[in-house]
Amino acid sequence: MTLSLTDAGRLTAGATMWTTGAVPEQNARSLMLADGPMGVASGRVDERDVSVLTPAPVAQGASWDLDLVAQMGALVGNDAIAMGVDALLAPNVNMARSPLAGRAFEYYSEDPLLTGLCGAAWVRGIQATGTAAVAKHFVCNDSETQRDTMNAVIDEATLRQVYLLPFEMACAAGCGGIMTAYNRINGAWCAEAAGPLAIVRNEWAYGGVLMSDFFATHSTAATLNAGLDLEMPGPARFLGAKAETAVAQGETTAERVQDAAARVIRFNQRFGGAKTPATLDAEELLTAGAAAGFVLLRNDGLLPLAPTLRTLAVIGPNATAPCYQGGTFARIAVTPEALTPLQAIEAALGGQLAIVHEPGVDPQPRLPSMPVTPAMDLGDGCATGLTVEYFAGHDLATEPLSRETRATNSLVWFHGVHEQGRFNEVGAVRASGWFTAQADGPHRFYAGATGPVVLKVDGQEVVRRDVQPPASDIMGVLKAGDADEGIVTLHAGQRVLVDVELRYAPARVQGLWYGVRAPDTPDAMLARAVEAARQADAVVLMLGETADASVESKDRADTRLDPAQLRLAEAVRAANPRTAIVVNVGHAFDAGFARDAAALLVAWYPGQNFGKALVDVLSGRREPGGRLPMTLAAQEADYPAFDLTPDAEGNLAYAEGVLVGYRGMKARGTKALFPLGAGQGYTRFALANARVEGGQVLVDVTNTGTRPGSEVVQAYLAQSPFALVGFAKLHLPAGETATAQIAPSPYILRSVAGTGPVPLVLGRDAEDAAFALELPR
């Protein structure tokens, strides 16, 4: 059946915010999309739409376990089925090019092969359930600074060998779609980048759908002619009905529009049918998966904790305010049953020893929570949260359109997604709740919004911001999440009514956020933490990012942890050298502060079972199975790519070429503080008898310790560019030997010049050349 040009054009744009168009006569129903990759994000950005929250891609990459990554994809696929979602905008196979990248937690590695293998495994896992994977963000969306306008300037070899490679591997794995990025590449918007898109369609013979990131299209004919098939979201802005007009004006061809529609139809047909949930033990997988990504970089024997301990001090902000995930629009609403690290430690070890806790620094440094009870009883059984009222205009004295109770301190509304109101028209929102002070002294109240906002305490204005951003700036204001503050002195037990009012102008998205900080001083918090450490037999010091610190559209200024946390670490270690430091971050960081720590464990963003996995690793019930997926440099100047600020013309030069991360450091002879692939478990391994047989690298691996454990054996090209060419992860009981088999990747070997044997090195990390081998051509 041939579609009319009108119908074909209609299919080139989404039907709604999260759905594609349908063609019932061709058995192609509309598909429901959702954002990822750590789970199925709520299209409403609503804390009540709870989904499974897996370890972040950086944590999955740290596992170096492709079977585990595939299971994580399948687990997300199961949740997608339960939520009626047909396609997930994931995996993110961009590269952790710089440690400053604000979204590095969504990237698997700084290495293109490890990234590509993990991305392909995740694709196979989710698509085994019948749920589509849409790999993103094509291409060179490896940073967030000015990402909507930035122009990545990159040479052909680098583009192909590093940044396109993970997408190529995702395509080879059969991913349902590819989503283009917001930025430009060599001058062209990614949705109009004819050169890279031609590689996908022609060289890779990819038959899936090529769609835009949301609101990332800029033209009609140029976008279609470059090869994009689907503009998201709907209703259309540049494609859709405008595609037919472009044909009539001779700017594109009817064949191109029909081809785009045909790809959308195939996409709908392929993933619009019956789904097949995977048989998985979700609870075990989430716990084991988190532990498998934990990277133990130092350990003088403190871990696992001895059963003879009498007192354990759990210190640090991340014990009670862990960073489970980054602050993107793909944020997952975490189950309220998720245990914080402190809760898990108390539940598992509280009967065996005394546990004391002090945060040491403010656990919510950016935007604290708003612990209140609703201003009204709406009969919904909600005992906590604010009563939120929606108004048709700016007059809050009128009867509201509706009311609901929301247990969150951050509200986001997309036009066309919520039932409460049409947020592209003038309106207002009021959030109200009763706050009871727990201490005497000055309380800081915070409020921010996408329009004029007022916060009142018992009817008295405390915060007022009258700025109305232009509609074009609303998304930036929302992503930045900045808030104004005001101080109110309260006494312990005092109950006050808090009202936060937003009056907004028309825009496609609106937001309101608020919080309150109880009185305390940095010096007092630090003193209590130091005393707790001094009195304990051992300390678990939990540092890192808190409250979704990594955000979209913002890169980091440096690699260091917060200065107050570094001060806390120094003071606690001085009070008790038996301190195990747990770092909860989503990116490469400056680990110099802990280079001589008794134990240093990198937990990344480990998903909802962070607490359970951590207590299992601390107690020795599980081992920390991870290895670094990215280099931790001795100093910031050692990173081959660091500054992510485009020049005055908006250009960001990928000047390091293919020598990204560990490759560039190897080329310069720079030694890392901890190299790619570094890490240890709770046992020891010996490697022997390395050889090449039948095109594979083989080496015998023996667990010489007294505990079961895992080892990751890695093979690298010994010639420039030094590059990971393959790896194998083995799990062995104590005393047992097995042969690791590494198949060198043809994706890496095809870039090797010359005709003779290919020199390789084999070891446990990028700086461990335990064996030198030659691979015949």
User: Which is more confidently placed, 458 or 47?
Assistant: 458
Predicted pLDDT at 284: 98
Known active-site residue 213: yes
The whole-number pLDDT of residue 548 equals 59
- H or E segment and range at residue 25: none
Residue 755 vs residues 79, 158, 751, 758: alpha-carbon distances, Å: 49, 22, 12, 8
Q: Residue 655 above 70 pLDDT?
A: yes
Give the separation between CA 732 and CA 686, rounded to whole angstroms: 12
In this structure, are residues 713 and 688 in contact, taking their beta carbons and an 8 Å threshold?
no
Q: What HEC string does 705-719 produce? A: CCCCEEEEEEEEECC
- Two structure tokens written together for 491: 């006494």
For all residues of the chain together, what is the average pLDDT?
Answer: 96
**How far is it, in rounded angstroms, from Cα 68 to Cα 62?**
11
Name the token pair of 130.
Answer: 């019948």
Q: Spell out the residues 6+ positions from residue 557 whose beta carbon is closer than 8 angstroms to its own.
A: 100
User: C-alpha angle 567/570/575, rounded to 5°?
Assistant: 125
Beta-carbon contacts of 754 under 8 Å, excluding residues fewer than 6 positions away, are: none
pLDDT at 549: 67
Residue 366 confidence class, pLDDT cut points 50, 70, 90 = confident
pLDDT value at position 481? 87
Q: Evaluate if residue 547 carries a pLDDT over 70.
A: no
Q: How far apart are CA 608 and CA 325, in angstroms?
A: 9
Tell me which residue of 130, 45, 46, 120 sits closest to 84, measured CA to CA.
130
Per-residue pLDDT band for 1 (boundaries 50, 70, 90) equals: low
- The CA distance from 511 to 507, in Å, is 11
| Residue 775 confidence (pLDDT) | 96
Per-residue model confidence (pLDDT) at position 76: 98
Contact 716, 726 (CB under 8 A): no
Give the pLDDT of residue 89. 98
Q: Residue 43 — very low, low, confident or very high, per pLDDT cuts 50/70/90?
A: confident
Catalytic residue among 35, 65, 142, 213: 213
Would you state the pLDDT for residue 328?
A: 78
Distance (Å, rounded) from C-alpha 254 to C-alpha 260?
Answer: 10
- Report pLDDT for 423: 87
State the DSSP string of 181-248.
Answer: -SSEETTEEGGG-HHHHHIIIIIS---SEEEEPTT----SHHHHHHT--BBSSSSPSSSTHHHHHHHH
Res 168 pLDDT > 70 = yes
* pLDDT score recorded for residue 437: 98
Rounded mean pLDDT, 632-657:
98
pLDDT band per the 50, 70, 90 thresholds, residue 508: confident
Q: Give start and end residues of each alpha helix (H) in 372-488.
A: 474-480
d(CA 659, CA 304): 38
Tokens at residue 446, please?
């915070």
The single-letter DSSP state of residue 159 is I
- Residue 675: both structure tokens together: 């190299």
pLDDT in tens, 372-408: 999 999 999 999 999 999 999 999 999 999 999 999 9
Q: How many Å apart are CA 638 and CA 664, to the nearest integer?
A: 9
Kindly indicate the confidence band of residue 550, based on its pLDDT and cuts at 50, 70 and 90.
low
- Set out the domains of the chain in order of their start, with CATH numbers: 282-362+521-653 (3.40.50.1700), 373-517 (2.60.120.260), 683-775 (2.60.40.10)
Q: Which residue has the higher pLDDT, 1 or 582?
A: 582
Report whether pLDDT(476) > 90.
no
Q: Is residue 373 within a helix (H) or strand (E), and if so which, with residue range?
A: strand 373-374
pLDDT tens for residues 182-237? 999 999 999 999 999 999 999 999 999 999 999 999 999 999 999 999 999 999 99
Percent helix, strand and coil across the chain, each rounded to 5?
25, 25, 50
Question: Where does 151-193 show beta strands of DSSP type E?
Answer: 151-153, 177-180, 184-185, 188-189
Tell me if the bond preceding 304 is cis, omega within 30° of 0: yes
Strand order across the 758-763 sheet? 723-732, 709-717, 758-763, 771-775
3-state secondary structure of 115: helix
The per-residue pLDDT for 435 is 98
